[in-house]
DNA sequence: TAGATCAGGTCGTCTGATGACTTTGCTTTG
DNA sequence: CAAAGCAAAGTCATCAGACGACCTGATCTA
């Protein structure tokens, strides 16, 4: 029954929805949007509301509205990547990047313990099992690692944290591209130990123990950082 | 020659006119614009046209439109139009916003405990003393509160965290602009209790006790959230 | 005095009507 | 047959009236 507890005004809501379709690639530059009337029907709002949303997106340079012709997706203003994530550019060093990661990941672990659903647990288990099955596959191991941390962020069911983690993770991997790669999974022993740590984190999330999940994640990241320190000169 | 004489659409024309008044200083940050009805009369167009123009300017971050309250000129964004923080728009609800805040602030508290300098401590103490001296000044109390949390973020010496906190904090206050205001400092008792909590957090930071600083910050925010829940219906 | 109530101002949205412009497909014409 | 002409449909642009939601400040009441 409690269907509408929307903190956002309808026009903002529509604008966000459309903005998502633009950035997520569901709509590509050059594509034509449905007519105002159709959009109004689709989102269950009036035409004025749609027009306000479109005007806002147009003001941001995302849309091209042609009278009588329709509404089209404009080519992104060239440098979206740079300006978009301004906060990331504040990083003076990899060390700071890792600190932010620690903050976000421990927080995610705690929130995941609080909000995780059964489906989240299943997904986490599946990833853990895959990791166990292919302990010696270095490339796969790293991908699964990334995926596991993504899933933990996903288990918070908080879109902002997921976005933040995703962006940070990309930047982190980019920063370490040269040095990181596979050293981490080079030994069976390391991979095995990592798996144990991951399991214990997931276990805490399963048990809904926020503090434990957070601290285990913290310790895990500290160890990763330590290895990074020992095996490479980048810190 | 440039045949750029295509007649501007009314809404664009109005948006340009208003934009000029903003950038030319004829309207300064904080100023209140005429009502939609008045603007419509002034420019000889319909209300929808005015609203589309306002929506566009709002999308560019130039205006603050408050339902029932009027339209106000926003402080010009430091980083011009393009420094939009995409991650913030992912928020579906105030609850999620508060969760992110908890993650960031507890993390900041821990990192502040690790990295704080003597100068940071002095600044924190100064703010605490001011809060103590003016326990009954509600407006000042709130400003000092914001400042204290900013200083804690600053004590991490991590520009990314400072940026994230600043952006989040602005958004949070905007979201709660309506309901928050001064209820929190309305009673001497509340202000006094808050001061104690803040002192204990700073104390943990001084002692370089990361875990303690983090948990105290967490408890502090939980209490704030509880008050928010009790005193207002917005959660 | 503190809280409840009320009224006026203002934003938020829907809707029907009308005009302007673009696209498209069909028809006319050389 | 092909090109020009034309009419209809599709779509954006704008207006005006009506209502609801929300904020503020003044008034009333316990």
Cβ of B79 and A99 within 8 Å? no
Q: What is the CATH number of domain A85-231?
A: 1.20.120.530
Q: Nearest by CB to A90, from B97, B99, B163: name it.
A: B163
Q: Is the pLDDT reported for residue A212 higher than 70?
A: yes
Whole-angstrom distance, CA of residue B18 vs CA of residue B56: 11
- Average of pLDDT values for B169-189? 59
Q: Is the pLDDT reported for residue B92 higher than 80?
A: no
CA B233 → C1' C4, Å? 18
Dig out the tokens for B54 from the structure.
Answer: 């306002």
Tell me how close the Cα of B186 comes to any Cα of chain A, in angstroms: 26
| pLDDT tens-digit series, residues A40-74 | 999 999 999 999 999 999 999 999 999 998 999 98
Q: Which nucleotide is closest to the Cα of A50 by its C1'?
A: C13
Q: Nearest by CB to A100, from B48, B53, B158: name it.
A: B158
Confidence of residue A6 (pLDDT cuts 50, 70, 90): very low
Rg of chain B taking only CA atoms, in angstroms: 22
Phi-psi region of A181 (alpha: psi -120 to 50; beta: other; left: phi over 0): left
Query: Which residues of A in 66-105 have their CB below 7 Å from strand D's atoms?
Result: 66-71
Q: Is residue A166 exposed (0-12), middle (13-18) or buried (19+ Cβ within 10 Å)?
A: middle
More confident residue, A6 or B26: B26
Which CA-bearing residue is nearest the C1' of C24? Answer: A69
Cα dihedral A68/A71/A75/A81 (nearest 10): 150
Range B10-73: architecture per CATH: Orthogonal Bundle (1.10)
Q: Which residue, among B91, B42, B200, B232, has the nearest Cα to A12 in the 3D structure? A: B91
Q: Is residue A185 exposed (0-12), middle (13-18) or buried (19+ Cβ within 10 Å)?
A: buried
Q: Do the first three CATH levels of A10-73 and A85-231 match, i.e. the same topology? A: no
**Chain A, chain B: beta-carbon pairs less than 8 Å apart:** 125
CA A68 → C1' D2, Å? 29
- Average of pLDDT values for B26-43? 91
Pairing verdict, β A70-73 and B63-66: unpaired
Q: Which residues does chain A have within 8 Å of residue B93's beta carbon, measured at their own beta carbons?
A: 7
The helix or strand, by DSSP H or E, that contains position A70, with its residue range, turns out to be: strand A70-73
B10 touches strand D (CB under 7 A): yes
Cβ of A59 and B15 within 8 Å? yes
Q: Which nucleotide is closest to the Cα of B32 by its C1'?
A: C10
Domain boundaries, chain B: 10-73, 86-231
Cβ of B159 and A56 within 8 Å? no
Q: Which nucleotide is closest to the Cα of B14 by its C1'?
A: D14
Confidence of residue A166 (pLDDT cuts 50, 70, 90): confident
| pLDDT tens-digit series, residues A95-130 | 888 899 999 999 999 999 999 999 999 999 999 999
Tell me how close the Cα of B133 comes to any Cα of chain A, in angstroms: 33
Q: Is the pLDDT reported for residue B235 higher than 90?
A: no
Q: What is the CATH number of domain B86-231?
A: 1.20.120.530
Q: Which residues does chain B have within 8 Å of residue A100's beta carbon, measured at their own beta carbons?
A: 158, 160-161, 164
The helix or strand, by DSSP H or E, that contains position A72, with its residue range, turns out to be: strand A70-73
More confident residue, A70 or B189: A70
Q: Where are the beta strands (DSSP E) in chain B?
A: 63-66, 70-73
């Amino acid at each position: 029954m409690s269907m509408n507890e929307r903190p956002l005004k309808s026009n903002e809501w529509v604008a966000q929805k459309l903005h998502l379709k633009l950035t997520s690639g569901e709509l590509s530059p050059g594509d034509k949007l449905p007519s105002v009337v159709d959009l109004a029907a689709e989102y269950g709002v009036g035409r004025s509301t749609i027009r306000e949303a479109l005007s806002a997106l147009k003001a941001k340079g995302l849309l091209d509205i042609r009278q009588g012709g329709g509404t089209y997706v404009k080519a992104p203003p060239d440098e979206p990547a740079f300006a978009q994530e301004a906060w990331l550019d504040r990083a003076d060093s990899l060390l700071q990047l890792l600190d932010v990661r620690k903050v976000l990941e421990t927080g995610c672990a705690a929130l995941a313990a609080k909000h995780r659903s059964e489906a989240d647990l299943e997904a986490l288990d599946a990833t853990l099992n895959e990791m166990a099955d292919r302990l010696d596959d270095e490339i796969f191991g790293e991908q699964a690692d990334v995926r596991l941390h993504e899933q933990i962020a996903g288990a918070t069911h908080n879109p902002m944290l997921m976005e933040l983690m995703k962006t940070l993770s990309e930047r982190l991997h980019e920063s370490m591209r040269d040095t990181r790669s596979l050293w981490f999974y080079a030994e069976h022993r390391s991979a095995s130990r990592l798996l144990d740590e991951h399991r214990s984190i997931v276990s805490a999330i399963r048990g809904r123990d926020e503090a434990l999940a957070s601290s285990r994640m913290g310790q895990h990241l500290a160890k990763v950082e330590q290895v990074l320190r020992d095996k490479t000169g980048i810190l």
